[in-house]
Chain A
Amino acid sequence: MIKSDIEAQKILCTHCGLLFDEVDEVCNRCGADLHQRKDNSLVKTFLFAISSLIFLIPANLLPIMVVTSLGNKDPGTIMGGVIYFFHHGAYGIGAVIFIASIAVPAFKLSVLFYLLYIVYWNKTQKAYGAMKYYRIISFIGKWSMLDIFVVALMVAMVQFKNLATINTGEAALAFALAVVMTMIATESFDPRLLWDKREKK
């Protein structure tokens, strides 16, 4: 039977991997502060996930970049870009943008709320499966930034005075904030909470 650190009344130094007794406060090998679980993990994860959800609304409604060609202003949203590529038969690139900018953030938030639900209601029997989702969102977290980098490059490249220019739209800021919030939410979440059995009150 596998025992957890809490059951054995131990505390792990997450920096160097040494085990200590619950009364210890500082790791004597690497000098890091010891915490049995990340502080306020659930509250932080929840608040950052909610903020991210809020930022996603303007991120999807406002234009992410504004193309001006021959005096004509053409603001484009994220979804507008995806539709444009599908209309013009560029399915590959349309799919890449859709996955990175829309599917990944939506998936990440759903998983975060699912993880919170499992910990909050103490469904430890689901921990193993939830762990897989947790690893997926930690891995794909940074890829949502793709569209922001694309906008940076497009704005830098397309500056042809009267002929054609591209400028940043407000959605870029909202979207970048939403991505940063989900990344912080994922980082604040302590996956060990999924496995900790709590006594029923």
Chain B
Amino acid sequence: MDTACKECGALVAQPAVDREHQYYCPRCDAMLYRSGQEFHYIILMALSSIILFFPAILLPILTLNIAGMEQSTTLVEAVWSFFGDGYTFIAVLVLLSGIIIPFLMLTLILMILIPIHYGVSPRKVATLFNLYEHLTEWSMGEVYLISILVAIIKLQKMAMLIIGEGFFLFIAFLITMYITMVWFNPHDIWHQQKSDDD
């Protein structure tokens, strides 16, 4: 009995580092331990995701054609439209949750794992963990993706639509980002630290 469930407060045994099994709270069924992946795999996956990020947000996701007039949009330009209409708050919110925070999540994972991989104490990067956990809720890349689909359906009656490279790259970015986040288990870092001390 050396830890407690974060969701209901029940005292439970500390699960050991395990690459295969999940553990749940006996009282409230909260996930106590999620199996993670080796750090070097996570670092590589995060790097590939970061490579996909820039073309994904800078290449056109959709091109609209009405009566011979063409208009392309990238994910970044969609945010500017709120600035253009004078809605700074929503522009910042959309920019943060749809673009900046998903990218930040990956850079945080790298900033946490690379130093630890080279033997830096996890305590030195503890504030980054804290930030990472708080930001998870505000990372809305997948919501942005589904909104592109909704916009496509809304616009298809109005005009001819061509789906651009940015759209497919954004999907690839989100998939690699999710694999990275699922593999990344902050818990393992503390546990390794603990066994180093023993």
Contact surface of A with B, Cβ cutoff 8 Å: 2-6, 8, 10, 12, 14-19, 29-32, 90, 93, 96-97, 127-128, 131, 138, 141-143, 145-150, 152-160, 163-164, 167-168, 172-173, 176-177, 180, 183, 187, 191-192, 194-196
Contact B190 A93 (CB under 8 A): no
B38 interfacial by beta-carbon distance below 8 Å: no
Shortest CB distance B176–A (Å): 20
Shortest CB distance B102–A (Å): 12
B133 interfacial by beta-carbon distance below 8 Å: yes
User: Can you list 21 pairs linking A and B with CB atoms under 8 Å apart?
Assistant: A15-B129, A15-B133, A16-B129, A17-B3, A19-B3, A19-B11, A31-B126, A147-B147, A148-B93, A148-B94, A157-B71, A157-B73, A159-B71, A160-B66, A160-B71, A163-B69, A167-B85, A172-B87, A173-B87, A192-B8, A192-B9
Q: How far is the CA of A201 from the CA of B85 in the complex (A)?
A: 56
B14 interfacial by beta-carbon distance below 8 Å: yes
Most buried by B among A2, A10, A14, A18: A2
Shortest CB distance A6–B (Å): 7
Contact B82 A155 (CB under 8 A): yes
Q: A2-B26, A19-B3, A156-B73 are in contact. Are A149 and B190 (CB under 8 A)?
A: no
Contact B143 A29 (CB under 8 A): no
Q: A29-B123, A150-B154, A154-B154 are in contact. Are A17 and B9 (CB under 8 A)?
A: no
Contact B143 A149 (CB under 8 A): yes
Pick from A6, A15, A90: contact of B9, CB under 8 Å = A6
Residues of B within 8 Å of A195, CB to CB, are: 8-10, 27-28
Interface 1/0s, chain B 119-162, versus A by CB < 8 A? 00011001001100100011010011011101101110010000
Pick from B80, B130, B150, B187: contact of A156, CB under 8 Å = B80
Most buried by B among A163, A176, A177: A176
Contact B27 A2 (CB under 8 A): yes
Shortest CB distance B197–A (Å): 9
B114 interfacial by beta-carbon distance below 8 Å: no
Most buried by A among B7, B26, B86: B7
Shortest CB distance A45–B (Å): 15
Shortest CB distance A128–B (Å): 7
Q: How far is the CA of A160 from the CA of B94 in the complex (A)?
A: 23
**Majority SS of interface residues in chain B?**
helix
Q: How far is the CA of A177 from the CA of B11 in the complex (A)?
A: 38
Contact A156 B28 (CB under 8 A): no
Contact surface of B with A, Cβ cutoff 8 Å: 2-4, 6-11, 14, 26-30, 62, 64, 66-67, 69, 71, 73, 77-82, 84-87, 89-90, 93-94, 97-98, 122-123, 126, 129-130, 133, 137-138, 140, 143-144, 146-148, 150-151, 153-155, 158, 187, 190, 193-194
Contact B143 A30 (CB under 8 A): no
Q: A32-B126, A172-B87, A173-B87 are in contact. Are A152 and B78 (CB under 8 A)?
A: yes
Contact B64 A12 (CB under 8 A): no
Most buried by B among A10, A16, A32, A172: A16
Most buried by B among A4, A90, A148: A148
Residues of B within 8 Å of A167, CB to CB, are: 85
A152-B79, A192-B8 are known; give 16 further A-B pairs, CB within 8 A.
A6-B9, A15-B126, A15-B130, A17-B6, A128-B28, A149-B78, A154-B151, A155-B82, A156-B77, A157-B78, A160-B69, A164-B158, A168-B86, A176-B89, A177-B89, A183-B137
Contact A29 B190 (CB under 8 A): yes
Q: A2-B11, A93-B150, A183-B137 are in contact. Are A163 and B3 (CB under 8 A)?
A: no
